[in-house]
């Protein structure tokens, strides 16, 4: 069996990556060892940047219709002050509460619409690669089969077979504390505020379920491999907050730990890693699923261009260059947040840690501090290093979803990204295209065009963009290049070099 790209793992990361590849016309096969999709709620939260990614592909409304928005999130459960997402510069200033099972369902639905092939009950058991491709041995209902692909991506979690078979190290810290989580059909909601005041994380879910996350000082060192019982859960709630919250009829219970690891590299030859296969950590801040989605968005367009033979040299290498530092930042920050959770629960450090938490709550009351940490947790402040030292300050930053007035009528930047192509925005006098360089002055790209070129006759004022004459927006919503020159000849020359660097296209042939 041959395919363009084989994705191992049908979690949120693998499914979004399947969407991105299929959108670009790449033959994509997803295999997952589970015979049926997850039904547990698991991760619950889509942060603002993840919602922006969905908006870029026209999926935001599907997700909003399925979940519930909240204006912020915890930096650490032990802190009383929450992060305020409403102060952030985004059209999605909230967290969307949505069970992971529903997120996977929506992404799988979209991947199938786009033509991806999803096979469940098929487990990858071996992997080999050569100069021309990857062979993956798969065990499935019909017996063993070998899949040949141009590239393979491990989206198969912290115990990734793909990562191990590729010989990629996964260094980090071992588990030193655990907590328990459970979704219950029966609960006494009058006790929820009391539970929250004692550090229990409480969330109301769909279908009448309530989630409780408990860090019990008397059970912090229980291995995550030990199953959770309803009696243990009730006892821990009683110990922590003096009530068992009337919980009953558990739909799902689990124990999780603070093992933190980061892959030594995200790519080895024709094998790549994304999501939990590349980074794992304690789920404080709810960043794991979101970081995986952002991995997929960064990788998808680069891998698609590479498979199609139109990627400029080194484009695929930028995936590791850009996303591994983000993984390092996330795993480092979550270790710090985990200490803020763990230390107040210990006899030795509890009193002093309580004072530290009081200080941090005071700092979070400061607007600038709160916005800074909210920007980090939400990933809205993620910026990639510029390709050249003399690049404009906007380069690598996320492109805000500004309103534009184009020849085709009003538009938002993210609407222009729905088809997954780079967008070249001509924003100022002298920046507009002309017949000499072959640009398409409409908001509708020519069939087969590598990029979309849009002349914006006026645009919403935005810090940093006021005097920008042209901006090249990558398919993942980050700025590849920005210019402030208004000299048409200089701008065309600058633009031609940038298009070749990022898309392999010349300005004359862009559309």
Of 162-166, 173-177, 274-278, 458-462, minimum mean pLDDT range = 458-462
What is the helix (H) or strand (E) element at residue 137, kind and residue range? strand 134-140
Q: Residue 449's pLDDT is what?
A: 73
Q: Residue 382's pLDDT is what?
A: 97
Confidence of residue 429 (pLDDT cuts 50, 70, 90): low
Confidence of residue 465 (pLDDT cuts 50, 70, 90): confident
Cα–Cα distance for residue pair 398/390, rounded to 1 Å: 18
The torsion region of residue 358 among left (phi > 0), alpha (psi -120 to 50) and beta comes to alpha
In this structure, whether the domain defined by 178-257 belongs to CATH 3.30.70.2450 is answered with yes
Provide the residue ranges of all domains of the chain, joining segments of one domain with +. Answer: 2-173+260-378, 178-257, 403-509
Angle formed by the axes of helices 12-23 and 100-113, nearest 10° = 20
In this structure, whether the domain defined by 2-173+260-378 belongs to CATH 3.50.50.60 is answered with yes
From 48, 421, 151, 476, select the one nearest 297 (Cα to Cα).
Answer: 476
Residue 351 above 50 pLDDT? yes
Of 91-100, 358-367, 399-408, 455-464, minimum mean pLDDT range = 455-464
CA 449 to each of CA 87, 142, 446: distance values in angstroms, whole numbers, following the listed order: 38, 41, 5
Q: Enter the tokens of residue 24.
A: 């670009």
- CB-based contacts of 231: which residues, under 8 Å, 6+ apart? none
From 396, 509, 376, select the one nearest 446 (Cα to Cα).
Answer: 509
Average pLDDT, the chain: 91
Q: For the domain 403-509, what is the CATH code?
A: 3.40.30.120
- Tens of pLDDT along 80-92? 899 999 999 999 9
As a whole number, mean pLDDT of residues 17-26 equals 97
């Amino acid at each position: 069996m041959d395919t363009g790209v084989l994705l191992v793992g049908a979690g949120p990361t693998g499914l979004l990556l399947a969407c991105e590849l299929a959108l670009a016309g790449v033959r994509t096969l997803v295999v997952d060892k589970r015979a049926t999709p997850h039904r547990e709620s698991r991760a619950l939260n889509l942060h603002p940047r993840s919602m922006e990614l969905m908006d870029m592909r026209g999926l935001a409304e599907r997700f909003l219709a399925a979940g519930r928005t909240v204006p912020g999130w915890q930096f650490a459960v032990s802190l009383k002050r929450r992060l305020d997402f409403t102060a952030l510069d985004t059209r999605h200033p909230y967290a969307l509460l949505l069970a992971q099972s529903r997120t996977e369902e929506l992404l799988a639905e979209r991947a199938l619409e786009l033509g991806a092939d999803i096979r469940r009950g098929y487990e990858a058991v071996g992997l080999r690669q050569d100069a021309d491709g990857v062979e993956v041995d798969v065990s499935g209902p019909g017996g063993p089969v070998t899949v040949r692909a141009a590239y393979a991506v491990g989206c198969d979690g912290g115990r990734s077979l793909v990562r191990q078979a590729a010989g990629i190290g996964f260094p980090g810290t071992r588990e030193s504390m655990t907590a328990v989580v459970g979704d219950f059909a029966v609960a006494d909601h009058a006790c929820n505020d009391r539970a929250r005041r004692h550090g229990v994380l409480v969330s109301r879910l769909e279908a009448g379920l309530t989630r409780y996350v408990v860090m019990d000082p008397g059970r912090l060192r229980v291995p995550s491999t030990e199953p959770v019982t309803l009696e243990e859960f009730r006892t821990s709630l009683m110990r922590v907050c003096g009530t068992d919250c009337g919980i009953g009829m558990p739909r799902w219970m689990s124990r999780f730990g603070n093992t933190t690891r980061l892959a030594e590299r995200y790519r080895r030859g024709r094998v790549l890693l994304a999501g939990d296969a590349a980074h794992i950590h304690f789920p404080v801040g709810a960043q794991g699923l979101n970081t995986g989605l952002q991995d997929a968005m960064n990788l998808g367009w680069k891998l698609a261009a590479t498979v199609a033979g139109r990627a400029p040299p080194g484009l695929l290498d930028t995936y590791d260059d850009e996303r591994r530092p983000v993984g390092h930042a996330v795993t480092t920050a979550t270790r710090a947040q985990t200490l803020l959770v763990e230390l107040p629960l210990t006899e030795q450090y509890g009193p002093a840690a309580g004072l530290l938490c009081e200080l941090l709550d005071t700092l979070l009351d400061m607007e600038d501090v709160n916005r800074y940490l909210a920007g980090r947790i939400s990933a809205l402040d993620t910026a990639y290093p510029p390709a050249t030292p003399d690049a404009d300050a906007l380069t690598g930053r996320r492109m805000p979803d500004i309103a534009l007035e184009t020849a085709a009528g009003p538009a938002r930047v993210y609407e222009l990204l729905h088809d997954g192509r780079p967008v070249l925005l001509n924003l100022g006098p002298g920046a507009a295209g002309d017949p000499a360089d072959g640009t398409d002055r409409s908001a509708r790209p020519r069939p087969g065009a590598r990029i979309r070129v849009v002349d914006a006759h006026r645009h919403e004022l935005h810090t940093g963009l006021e005097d920008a004459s042209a901006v090249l927006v990558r398919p993942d919503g980050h700025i590849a290049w920005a210019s402030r020159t208004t000299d048409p000849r200089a701008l065309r020359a600058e633009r031609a070099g940038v298009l070749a660097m990022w898309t392999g296209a010349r300005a004359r042939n862009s559309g």
